[in-house]
């Protein structure tokens, strides 16, 4: 629904502070944020209504009443992906200098969603043949359905935040976390604030296999259904936050704060999915059914945060 890619880059031999104080962010615990500082970037997103993504793939033979002899059938390495977010942002700030009086840098990301988010994905990859009591459905042949991916991903709020400050140190960092707001200040400060109130749903389904009729036998052949995946992932709020600091001498002080709140229902399901080989007799043949996965995960809040200091 809302998709942003924001960047701020400052590079100079000498950078002096402008405001006379560290960069500061005031983040409300319901998803709002304000920022002040020398070189700062702020992004705000709000979503309501409904947003959805659907993907469907059918990889099937059109002659289900036929037989196969001295042949090969392969369906492999296909991807069917439905990926949707009510709010999505990529924010990057980079400030660097070799001298000066310590300019500061800050990044604030604010996202609020009351939207209904739905992602659905389905794959049908099958070889359907019909044999008879007097002839094999598959003879002297091979059929492989392998390494196909079906994935549905739904997110209320999603953000990738990166802040880099290379330069002289000028202050330490402070954080005050309260019941209703978080105030953070430092030469390098990154705050991510996300709040999701809407319903987030991801669902995946499908069939991958070799469904033969009741009389369909397999003779001198190899059938394999391996390494296929059907997955559904739903997130209320998801974020990756990274702060990198460095410079000559002591590195600048840094603060990273992440505030996430989710009150909406988050649901993931993989239902009606099947990996199958069905038929009658097997004669001088081989069947393989391995490495297939069904996975569903639903998470209210998820974050990966890191501060790295280089010399």
What's the pLDDT score for residue 126? 86
Query: For residue 40, what is the DSSP state?
Result: E
Task: Provide the pLDDT confidence category of residue 178 given band limits of 50, 70 and 90.
Answer: low
Give every CB contact of residue 191 below 8 A, 6+ residues apart in sequence.
Answer: 25, 27, 33, 35, 106, 107, 108, 109, 182, 184, 256, 257, 258, 259
- The model's confidence at residue 66, banded by pLDDT at 50, 70 and 90, is confident
Q: How many residues does the chain have?
A: 311
Q: If you average pLDDT over each of 76-80, 183-187, 251-255, 275-279, which comes out highest?
A: 76-80
Q: Tell me the CB-side half-sphere exposure of residue 254, using CA atoms within 13 A.
A: 26
- Return the pLDDT at 271: 87
Q: Confidence class of residue 293 from pLDDT cuts 50, 70 and 90? A: very high
45 closest CA partner among 64, 32, 30, 63: 32
Residue 132 in tokens: 């008879």
For the chain, give the mean pLDDT: 87
Is the pLDDT at 247 greater than 90? The verdict is: no
pLDDT given for residue 296 in this prediction: 97
**Antiparallel, parallel or unpaired: β 218-219 and 282-283:** parallel
State residue 101's pLDDT score: 72
Q: Are 265 and 197 a contacting pair, CB within 8 Å?
A: no
Per-residue pLDDT averaged across 11-32, rounded? 78
Q: How confident is the model at residue 227 (pLDDT cuts 50, 70, 90)?
A: very high
**164: which strand partners?**
94, 244
pLDDT at 275: 84
Residue corresponding to tokens 């002289």:
168
pLDDT at position 222 over 80: yes
Helix, strand, coil in percent for the chain, rounding step 5: 0, 70, 30
Q: What is the pLDDT of residue 82?
A: 98
Is residue 85's pLDDT more than 80?
Answer: yes
Highest mean pLDDT among 36-45, 147-156, 284-293: 147-156
pLDDT at residue 179 greater than cutoff 70: no
Nearest-angstrom CA–CA distance, 64 and 212: 9
Percent of the chain with pLDDT over 70: 90
CA-based nearest residue to 97, from 9, 22, 12: 12
Containing 17, the helix (H) or strand (E) segment is none
* DSSP bridge partners of 161: 91, 241
Q: Is the pLDDT of residue 215 over 70?
A: no
pLDDT of residue 223: 87
Burial bucket for residue 83 (CB in 10 Å: 0-12, 13-18, 19+): middle
| pLDDT of res. 161 | 98
SS3 116: strand
* Per-residue pLDDT at 214 exceeds 80: no
- The region of weakest confidence among 193-197, 252-256, 294-298 is 252-256
Q: Quote the pLDDT of residue 77.
A: 96
Name the CA dihedral angle for 233, 268, 59, 70, rounded to a multiple of 10 degrees.
90
Place of tokens 């405001």: 19
In angstroms, the CA 244 to CA 309 distance is 6
- Residue 110 in contact with residue 193, Cβ under 8 Å? yes
- Give yes or no for residue 13 having a pLDDT over 80: yes
Distance CA 126, CA 218 (A): 16
Contact criterion met (CB below 8 Å) for 306 and 239: no
Query: Is residue 162 over pLDDT 90?
Result: yes
Q: What is the pTM of this model?
A: 0.88
């Amino acid at each position: 629904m809302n998709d942003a890619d924001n960047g701020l880059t400052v590079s100079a031999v000498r950078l002096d502070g402008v405001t006379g104080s560290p960069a500061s962010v005031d983040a409300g615990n319901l998803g709002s944020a304000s920022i002040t500082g020398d070189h700062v970037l702020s992004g705000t997103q709000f979503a309501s209504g409904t947003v959805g993504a659907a993907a469907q793939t059918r990889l099937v033979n059109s002659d289900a009443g036929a037989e196969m002899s001295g042949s090969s059938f392969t369906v492999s390495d296909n991807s069917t992906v439905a990926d949707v977010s009510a709010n999505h942002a990529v924010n990057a700030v980079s400030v660097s200098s070799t001298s000066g009086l310590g300019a500061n840098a800050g990044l604030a990301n604010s996202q609020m969603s009351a939207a209904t988010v739905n992602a659905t994905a389905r794959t049908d990859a099958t070889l359907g043949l019909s044999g008879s009591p007097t002839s094999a459905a598959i003879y002297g042949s091979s059929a492989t359905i392998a390494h196909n991916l079906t994935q549905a991903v739904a997110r209320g709020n999603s953000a990738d935040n990166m802040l880099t400050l290379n330069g002289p140190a000028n202050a330490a960092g402070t954080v005050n976390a309260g019941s209703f707001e978080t105030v953070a200040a430092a030469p390098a400060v990154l705050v991510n604030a996300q709040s999701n109130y809407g319903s987030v749903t991801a669902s995946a389904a499908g069939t991958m296999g070799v469904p033969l009729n009741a009389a369909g036998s397999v003779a001198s052949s190899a059938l394999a259904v391996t390494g296929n995946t059907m997955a559904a992932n739903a997130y209320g709020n998801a974020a990756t936050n990274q702060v990198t600091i460095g410079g000559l001498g002591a590195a600048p002080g840094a603060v990273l704060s992440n505030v996430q709140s989710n009150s909406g229902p988050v649901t993931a399901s993989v239902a009606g999915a099947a990996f199958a080989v069905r038929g009658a007799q097997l004669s001088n043949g081989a069947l393989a059914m391995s490495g297939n996965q069904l996975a569903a995960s639903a998470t209210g809040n998820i974050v990966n945060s890191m501060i790295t200091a280089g010399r």
